[in-house]
Amino acid sequence: MSFFARFAQNRGALIGLIILLLIIVMAILAPLLFPESPWRMVQRPFLPPLSQEGFLLGTDTMGRNVAAGLMHGAWVSLLIGLVSTSVALLIGVPLGAIAGYYGGLVDDFLMRFTEFFQTIPNFALAIVLVAIMQPSITSIVLAIALVSWPPVARLVRAEFMSLRHREYVEAARLVGQTNSTIILRQILPNTLSPIIVLASLMVATAILLESALSFLGLGDPNVMSWGYMIGAARTVIRQAWWLSFFPGVAILLTVLALNLVGEGLDDALNPKLSRER
């Protein structure tokens, strides 16, 4: 069975994938549908949804178009989720691989280093980092990556530790392959499925973290994001429910979709497990 056919067997994963594609389409279409900056005030404030032509989701406290914000925000959220996860993988995978493969003192040193990051609460560290570096897309991405790599390192290390004594790895050592070839060609491909699954969940967490940072006012002041929209609307939540409701639903759907896709990937990448369903 092909990879996609196995993936599609999981109904939830398929739905997740469709939602995710819609969000991506939203992000791509945003500059076409709303060429103007989402920060521009275009109508009178507190316009409820569906009350005026062209303002499907109404306007916010300053008279900015909520629909425009939502679509531009999709781009920011996805970008931050994907980039920060990639950065976290770039840090976590090599560290975990080296620690797990070599073991001993190397492992001890790298794991103490990892624990140093793990002992500080994620969100507190992210706030401090963003505050020090000045809020901007780059600093937010970096902060999220820096707080989310330790689980990756731990996972990869555990996988490497269990795989490095497999007979096929020993066979590779016996034929004279170098350590780097063994790590990259023999072991890493066999750890990919848990890494991919974890990564899909990390994208979701990153989006949530960014939203939380923006909610606290630590978002990039130049880009519209879902978290910022909710944060800005929290004082008027009783007068204008739609201001926090739509971005909230957007975050919920995105995270849900990513989780579903992650689960589907897990099934598809572990053919043994999914066959038992």
Partner 1 sequence: MPVTTDSATEHSSAETVLSIRDLSVALPKGADRALAVEDVSYDVNRGEIMCVVGESGSGKSMAANTVMGLLPKGVHPVQGEVNFLGQNVITLPEKQHRALRGLKIGMIFQEPMTALNPLMRVGAQIAEVFEAHGQLTPKQRQERALELLIEVGIPQPEKAISAYPFELSGGQRQRVMIAMALALEPVLLIADEPTTALDVTTQAQILELIRDLQRRRGMAVMFITHDFGVVAEVANRVCVMRHGKIVEIGEAKDVLENPQNPYTKALIAAIPSNAVPPHRETSQVAPLLEIKQLNKVFRSRGGWFKSAREVRALDDISLTLARGETMGIVGESGSGKSTLGRCVVRLEHPDSGELLLDGVNLSQLKGDALRRERHRVQMIFQDPYASLNPRTRVGMAIAQGPMANGTPKAAALKQAGELLDLVGLGASAVERFPHEFSGGQRQRIGIARALALNPELIVADEAVSALDVSIQAQVLELLEELKQRLSLSLLFITHDLRVAAQICDRIVVMQHGRIVEQGSAEQIFLHPKEAYTQSLLDAIPGRQAPVAATA
Q: Which residue, among 41, 89, 87, has the nearest Cα to 66 in the 3D structure?
A: 41
Total residues at interface with partner 1 (CB under 8 A) = 20
Nearer residue to partner 1 within complex by CB, 190 or 259: 190
Which of these ranges, 16-24, 103-111, 168-176, 216-224, lies near partner 1 under the rule CB under 8 A? Answer: 168-176
25, 51, 170, 273: which one binds partner 1 (CB under 8 A) = 170
Residue burial 57-86, b: 16+ Cβ < 10 Å; e: rest:
bbbbeeebbbbbbbbbbbbbbbbbbbbbbe
Angle, helices 188-215 vs 66-102, to 10°: value is 140
Angle, helices 122-133 vs 137-163, to 10°: value is 140
Any contact of residue 177 with partner 1 (CB under 8 A)? yes
Q: Is 88 left (phi over 0), alpha (psi -120 to 50) or beta?
A: alpha
Any contact of residue 185 with partner 1 (CB under 8 A)? yes
Tokens of 206: 């990153």
Tokens of 41: 């005030």
Which of these ranges, 9-17, 70-78, 174-182, 239-247, lies near partner 1 under the rule CB under 8 A? Answer: 174-182
Any contact of residue 276 with partner 1 (CB under 8 A)? yes
Q: 219, 269 in Cβ contact below 8 A?
A: no
Any contact of residue 2 with partner 1 (CB under 8 A)? no
Which of these ranges, 10-18, 125-133, 172-180, 203-211, lies near partner 1 under the rule CB under 8 A? Answer: 172-180
Q: Which residues contact 164 (CB under 8 A, 6 or more apart)?
A: 100, 101, 103, 187
136, 190, 259, 270: which one binds partner 1 (CB under 8 A) = 190
Any contact of residue 162 with partner 1 (CB under 8 A)? no
CB of 166 to partner 1, least distance (A): 6
Nearer residue to partner 1 within complex by CB, 27 or 187: 187
Nearer residue to partner 1 within complex by CB, 49 or 173: 173
Nearer residue to partner 1 within complex by CB, 53 or 167: 167
Q: Which residue, among 200, 191, 225, has the nearest Cα to 210 in the 3D structure?
A: 225
Any contact of residue 54 with partner 1 (CB under 8 A)? no
**Interface contacts to partner 1, rule CB under 8 A:** 166-178, 181, 185-186, 189-190, 275-276
